[in-house]
């Protein structure tokens, strides 16, 4: 059977667009979705339109919110931190949907249904380096046999996942990591562009994102990106209040430039044998006040060919294609390929340079 029943953990900007995008894809049926407030499960297929309409609303910060959307108090700070949550009507987030139930243990609730779920897209902000690996471990501990796909960004998280590869293999999990746009789509493009060369000297990734839906609908993404600015890191970005983030956005006139980011493209290309991680640079511009991309997203791979020539292969994304399409299309494509590999008995940790996404 080609049909894939999948779940989405997290219904922020990425999770919501993944659900919406899946309705245009063949063989994909979203059967479960959750956030920190609620869980919706229907093994015949969720009513995506109803779920998105019910959860449409503002994002607000709530002190005391658990940082891992699991219902567990994973955040050691006294006030629990400021965590972005969807709000709508009398109930918050997914719990506002007629298909959903309020819960304090959303990830556990999805795990309880996982025998009937082929794949899980983890669309949660990785504001602790080991958070997504810990989520994967929870599925493994429950003897889940299926696919986990994430769109994480940080290089050091890949090593944490690789350390757990044996656990995933024993469980029967195929874990596809860094499977969004960058890392993900652009990592794969760099791996293809490298095939002209016998030695790759450098890979330069320069991205541009205009947030059509605005800062209010993408606070998790913006918070993660701010962690890459000079003087910030994951811990400090996690501690920022919404007001402080808005002040940073204002300081940059809504257009924030990033250079030499700690992006997982480097280690993912190294583990695929393309080049050394030190030869990869990632930077870009985030514009939270414009629908238009502030710069063209480009991958440039420079190397030496077998006949001694030196050249650069360049790959560009069209400026008119949205971030939602460039993140969620590849994520769902890698999810499809992950299910094929899983059904063929291939388990462990895979990166986007190891696989071609399915269409």
Instruction: Answer yes or no: 86 catalytic.
Output: no
Query: pLDDT at position 213, please?
Result: 60
User: Are both 60 and 114 inside the same structural domain?
Assistant: yes
Catalytic pick among 224, 263, 270, 293:
224
For residue 109, the domain's CATH number is 3.40.50.720
User: Are both 125 and 146 inside the same structural domain?
Assistant: yes
Domain that holds residue 345: 4-182+324-350
Mean pLDDT of 237-245: 86
Q: Which one is predicted more confidently, 242 or 5?
A: 5
Q: What is the pLDDT of residues 276-313, one digit of tens each?
A: 999 999 999 999 888 789 999 999 999 999 999 999 99
Query: pLDDT at position 323, please?
Result: 84
Mean pLDDT of 129-148: 94
What band does 88 get if pLDDT is binned at 50, 70 and 90? very low
Catalytic pick among 129, 141, 216, 228:
228
Q: Is the pLDDT of residue 67 over 50?
A: no
| Order of all β-strands in the sheet with 28-34 | 100-102, 38-41, 28-34, 4-9, 119-122, 147-150, 174-176, 348-350
User: Are both 80 and 32 inside the same structural domain?
Assistant: yes
Helix, coil or strand: residue 310: strand
Q: Is the pLDDT of residue 66 over 90?
A: no
Strand-strand pairing, 348-350 and 174-176 = parallel
Q: How far is the C-alpha of 64 from the C-alpha of 75, rounded, in Å?
A: 9
> Does 121 reside within a domain?
yes
Number of domains in the chain: 2
User: Are both 38 and 159 inside the same structural domain?
Assistant: yes
271 CB neighbour count, 10 Å cutoff: 18
Mean pLDDT of 225-247: 86
> Does 358 reside within a domain?
no
User: Are both 94 and 215 inside the same structural domain?
Assistant: no
Q: Is the pLDDT of residue 5 over 90?
A: yes
Query: pLDDT at position 329, please?
Result: 95
Instruction: Answer yes or no: 224 catalytic.
Output: yes
> Does 130 reside within a domain?
yes
User: Are both 165 and 26 inside the same structural domain?
Assistant: yes
Mean pLDDT of 206-211: 90
What band does 144 get if pLDDT is binned at 50, 70 and 90? very high
Query: pLDDT at position 1, please?
Result: 55
Catalytic pick among 86, 153, 293, 336:
153
> Does 359 reside within a domain?
no
Q: Which of 225, 150, 155 is nearest to 180 (CA)?
A: 150
User: Are both 130 and 234 inside the same structural domain?
Assistant: no
Residue 321 contacts by C-beta under 8 Å, 6 or more apart in sequence? none
Could you give the percent of the chain with pLDDT greater than 70? 87
Query: pLDDT at position 214, please?
Result: 59
> Does 306 reside within a domain?
yes
> Does 49 reside within a domain?
yes
User: Are both 26 and 158 inside the same structural domain?
Assistant: yes
User: Are both 145 and 214 inside the same structural domain?
Assistant: no
User: Are both 225 and 151 inside the same structural domain?
Assistant: no
Q: What is the pLDDT of residues 173-187, one digit of tens each?
A: 999 999 999 999 999
Q: Which one is predicted more confidently, 224 or 45?
A: 45
What band does 13 get if pLDDT is binned at 50, 70 and 90? confident
> Does 355 reside within a domain?
no
Query: pLDDT at position 127, please?
Result: 65
Q: Which of 13-22, 225-234, 266-275, 326-335 has the lowest mean pLDDT?
A: 225-234
> Does 356 reside within a domain?
no
User: Are both 280 and 311 inside the same structural domain?
Assistant: yes
| Burial class of residue 292, CB neighbours in 10 A (0-12, 13-18, 19+) | exposed
User: Are both 112 and 226 inside the same structural domain?
Assistant: no
């Amino acid at each position: 059977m080609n049909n894939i029943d999948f779940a989405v953990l997290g219904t922020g900007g990425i999770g919501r667009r993944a659900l919406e995008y899946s309705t245009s894809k063949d063989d994909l049926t979203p059967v479960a979705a959750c956030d920190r407030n609620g869980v919706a499960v229907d093994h015949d297929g969720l009513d995506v339109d109803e779920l998105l309409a019910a959860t449409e609303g503002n994002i607000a910060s709530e002190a005391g919110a658990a940082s891992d959307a699991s219902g567990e108090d994973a955040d050691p700070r006294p006030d629990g931190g400021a965590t972005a949550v969807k709000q709508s009507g009398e109930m918050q987030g997914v719990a506002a949907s007629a298909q959903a139930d309020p819960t304090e243990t959303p990830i556990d609730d999805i795990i309880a249904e996982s025998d009937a779920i082929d794949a899980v897209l983890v669309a949660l902000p990785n504001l602790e380096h080991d958070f997504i690996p810990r989520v994967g471990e929870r599925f493994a501990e429950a003897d889940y046999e299926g696919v986990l796909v994430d769109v994480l960004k940080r290089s050091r998280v890949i090593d944490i996942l690789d350390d757990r590869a044996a656990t995933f293999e024993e469980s029967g999990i195929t874990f596809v990591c860094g499977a969004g746009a960058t890392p993900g789509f652009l990592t794969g493009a760099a791996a293809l562009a490298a095939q002209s060369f016998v030695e790759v000297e450098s890979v330069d990734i320069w991205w541009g994102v205009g947030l059509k839906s605005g800062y209010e609908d993408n606070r998790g993404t913006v918070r993660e990106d701010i962690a890459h600015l000079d003087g910030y890191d994951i811990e400090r970005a996690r501690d920022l209040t919404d007001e402080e983030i808005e002040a940073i956005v204002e300081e940059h006139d809504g257009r924030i430039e990033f250079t030499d980011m700690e992006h997982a493209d480097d280690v993912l290309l190294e583990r695929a044998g393309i080049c050394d991680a030190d030869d990869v640079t990632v930077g870009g511009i985030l514009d939270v006040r414009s629908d238009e991309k502030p710069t063209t997203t480009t991958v440039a791979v420079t190397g030496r060919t077998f006949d001694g020539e030196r050249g650069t292969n360049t790959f560009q994304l069209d400026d008119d294609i949205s971030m939602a399409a460039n993140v969620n299309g590849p994520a769902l494509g890698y999810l499809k390929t992950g299910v094929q590999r899983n059904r063929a008995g291939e388990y462990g940790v895979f990166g986007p340079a190891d696989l071609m996404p399915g269409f």
